[in-house]
Structure 1
Amino acid sequence: MNHVTKGCAAALTGVALAACSPALDWRQVRPEDAGIEALFPCKPLTHARTVPLAGQPTRMMLHACSRGGLTFALTHAELQDPARVTPALGELRAAAAANLDGTERVVGAMQVPGMTPNPQALRLEVQGRRPDGSPLVQQVALFTKGTRVYQASVIGTRLPQEAVDSFFTGLRLL
């Protein structure tokens, strides 16, 4: 899990530092081989990394962009083994809080049409801080379809609820 935490934190921090324009220009994005359509407010960059997840090296894909001081990200991984799905969601949940050295609050169950029901499919809010100690907040959505796990997140100093809701309700499994 440490590699998941460090890898995701580094990628999100790098993308977060690139934030500039306050205008949100929403667009539908269908990342290749992701099985999902997402509504992003800017054109996401894609990064791939192999990390240990649920006991095995796993290729994770990250699609992220920053706009208006917020970073929007969608991470997904194909696990190929149903027994790894719930542990992987739990590890992603723990990493979300660890990435910000923060505390989590469960906002509620996450529902995406077509998802596979799972008790770890949740929407969370993490109150944490950047490495320099300044405050940071993140909302995270964890869900799955079959043996693919997903994590969608919005991170910033302050999260406008309208932007967070637009991002999460714009998720559509294919």
Structure 2
Amino acid sequence: MSSNAYRHAMRRRGLIGALIALALTACNPTFNWREWRPEGTPLQALMPCKPETAERSVPLGGSPTVLHMHSCQAGGLTFALAWADAPDAAAVPATLIDWQRAALAAIRVDPALQADPGHRWTTTVAGATLTQGIVAQGTDPQGQSVQTRAVYFARGAQVFQAAIYGPTITDEVRTTFVDGLKLP
């Protein structure tokens, strides 16, 4: 084999190896965004991983409420979607306020900061009649620093929370997650 033929064969092997490595990486992305629809609600969402599901009764808006929770982890972040039925549409604002306070307390953030404009962010959810965004820096149950970006929204008497928790939340990940929320 001539030296030119040998170099050509080696470059080709290198190219094939690089293509195989790229293909394997593409098959295992950190964020594998997929459309997901929680049962019992019209919500459409994009999740970066397959969520696990749980339910529990919590006091929201002054009455025991069944909270439907869905969450998964990808890229060192936790993605959570939850929803509940408020007693009626008039109870929605109080229910969302209680929910925000409880979520902030869970990451050891003073719930009174919920009213601080520095902890609010403007966002929208297609089809929602009420939307409120919260941003906070707190501490997780293991004592580690954690950021959260959460959006609370409602349509009719159904209330929702979509949140990301982790050490650092990029704008790209937050935008993909929140822009994927729709109430058709």
| TM surpasses 0.5 | yes
Matched, 1:71 2:78: yes
TM-score between both structures, scaled by the size of structure 2: 0.77
Matches within 5 A, 1:40-119: 40-102=47-109, 105-117=118-130
Please name the residue that 1:39 is paired with: 46
Name the structure with the higher strand share.
Answer: 1
Q: Distance in 2 between matches of 1:87 and 1:144?
A: 12
* Structure 1 unaligned blocks of 5 or more: 1-20
Q: Distance in 2 between matches of 1:22 and 1:92?
A: 32
Q: 1:123 aligns with which of 129, 133, 139?
A: 133
Q: Residues 116 and 65 from structure 1, CA distance in 2 versus in 1: closer, same or farther, beyond 3 angstroms? A: same
Q: Distance in 2 between matches of 1:109 and 1:160?
A: 16
Please name the residue that 1:4 is paired with: none
Q: 2:37 aligns with which of 30, 34, 39?
A: 30
Contact 1:23 1:67 in 2 (8 A): yes
Matches within 5 A, 1:148-159: 148-159=158-169
Name the structure with the higher helix share.
Answer: 2
Matched, 1:135 2:156: no
Runs of 4+ in 1 over 6 A off after TM superposition: none
Please name the residue that 1:144 is paired with: 154
* Structure 2 unaligned blocks of 5 or more: 1-27
Task: Count matched residues.
Answer: 151
Structure number with the bigger relative contact order (C-alpha 8 A, sep ≥ 6) is 1
Larger gyration radius, structure 1 or structure 2 = 2
Please name the residue that 1:15 is paired with: none
Alignment root-mean-square deviation, CA: 1.6
Q: Give the secondary structure class of the aligned counterpart of 2:70.
A: strand
Deviates more, 1:64-73 or 1:94-103: 94-103
% same residue: 36
TM-score between both structures, scaled by the size of structure 1: 0.81
